[in-house]
Amino acid sequence: MNIFDTIPEKFFSVLSSGNKEIYVDALMLLHQMFKYELNIRVDDYISSLIAQIEDKSFMLEEDDEVTEVNLTSNVKARLILNRLIKTGWVDKEFLDGSFIEIITPRDYAIKVMKLLSELSDQTLHEYNSLVFATYSGLKQAKNEHQGQMYEAVLSAKTNTEQLTYELKRLYHGIRSYLRRIQEQSEVNVLLKNHFEEYKRMSDSIYHPIKTMDSIHRYMAPIQEILSDILADEELMDGMRSRAMTIRKYENDDEAGQEIISSIDYVLDVYQSIGGIVNEIDRKHSAYTKISIEKIQYLMTADQSIKGKLVELLKEYSKSSDTKRTVIIEMLEKNIRVNRQEFIDGKSL
């Protein structure tokens, strides 16, 4: 299905508007209230929104319907809510059996708000719990609740998908730090990136992967349990029957195919996950080496004539014509520098 068959045409317009920061803050407020309230009252949302936008400037949109002369915080808050309604983020309706107005976020909007919240969230993800949850769920189902082995296998697949996703995020996150090193020429910024931001990520994520060793500790037991399940025809029959009662399948064969596919997926991931961890390890080592070398180079270069000259030339390349003239005059006054120009075939 085409995504725009579900999402309204102007849905993303709030993210490119001149008021985009205000709209995103309003969406984050809505998402926060959604997490704690079953029904979000319009009055409660407007009150919270007023406090949030009180000191912020707001530009009227072309189709905003305004009757008031002064844009008070209350008027701005209601214009923002109306914008979210017009663009398909939320609906406004009455609570059943009352005249209390509530805000109902649309299903697809909830997913996008969650994504926006995650993009601005600096909380670091921890992976060892996903591995342990997979192992403990399968172990408990095998030893105590074989009637729920179907659910345990599906949960194992979900956890394994999340584990793979998060490890790849970590891998590409380290790559992004490597790109920053190449682009950055300010030693103070590099020091902050290395000893604050990257160290925080490394201590919370990379270090536990290497020391707690949950992946390597539980990898073999997880594979053993799943292999035993595949070899136990009686257990597989019970899982197929369980699957037929709680999910819609055409027949037992279709249910069995999903079970086998889920088990094979988890087995394949744990067979290859060591390679992913090794690549992460390699990137971490490369980042540490390159970062320290770049910091040392910049700190040394800054103390030399060559380093200072490089900084002057960098400033020259970024400057306006007037400022360039000042820099050239300063260089010519203090350093023996000659200007050179060349003529080639393209100059004619």
The predicted-structure confidence for 29-39, as pLDDT tens digits, reads as follows: 999 999 999 99
Q: How confident is the model at residue 104 (pLDDT cuts 50, 70, 90)?
A: very high
Q: How confident is the model at residue 223 (pLDDT cuts 50, 70, 90)?
A: very high
As given in the structure block, the two tokens for residue 138 are 């399968």
> Quick one: three-class SS letters along 9-35?
CCHHHHHCCCCHHHHHHHHHHHHHHHH
pLDDT tens for each residue of 159-206: 999 989 888 888 887 877 777 776 666 767 777 766 666 776 676 666
pLDDT value at residue 212:
59
User: For residue 111, what is the DSSP state?
Assistant: H
pLDDT at 337 > cutoff 60? no
pLDDT at 326 > cutoff 90? no
pLDDT at 52 > cutoff 90? yes
Mean pLDDT of 67-94: 89
pLDDT value at residue 116:
92
How does strand 90-94 pair with strand 101-105?
A: antiparallel
Cβ–Cβ under 8 Å, residues 93 and 104:
yes
The candidate with the shortest Cα–Cα distance to 202, out of 89, 115, 284, 323, is 284
Per the prediction, the chain carries an average pLDDT of 83
Cβ–Cβ under 8 Å, residues 154 and 162:
no
Q: Which of 91-100, 110-119, 233-242, 279-288 has the lowest mean pLDDT?
A: 279-288
pLDDT value at residue 55:
83
pLDDT tens for each residue of 9-18: 999 999 999 9
For residue 115, count other CB atoms closer than 10 A to its CB.
Answer: 10
* Cα-Cα-Cα-Cα dihedral sign, residues 39, 44, 45, 46: positive
Cβ–Cβ under 8 Å, residues 279 and 228:
no
H or E, element range at 93: strand 90-94
Strand ranges (E), 216-312: none
**Residues paired with residue 41 on neighbouring β-strands, in sequence order:** 102
What pTM does this model have? 0.66
At 82, the amino acid letter reads N
| 36-72 as b/e: b if 16+ CB within 10 A | eeeebebeebbebbbebbeeeebeebeebeeeeeeee
pLDDT value at residue 67:
67
CA angle (257 as vertex; 254, 259 as ends), nearest 5: 115
Percent over 90 (pLDDT), the chain:
43
pLDDT at 87 > cutoff 90? yes
Q: How confident is the model at residue 97 (pLDDT cuts 50, 70, 90)?
A: confident
pLDDT value at residue 106:
96
Helix or strand or coil: residue 63? coil
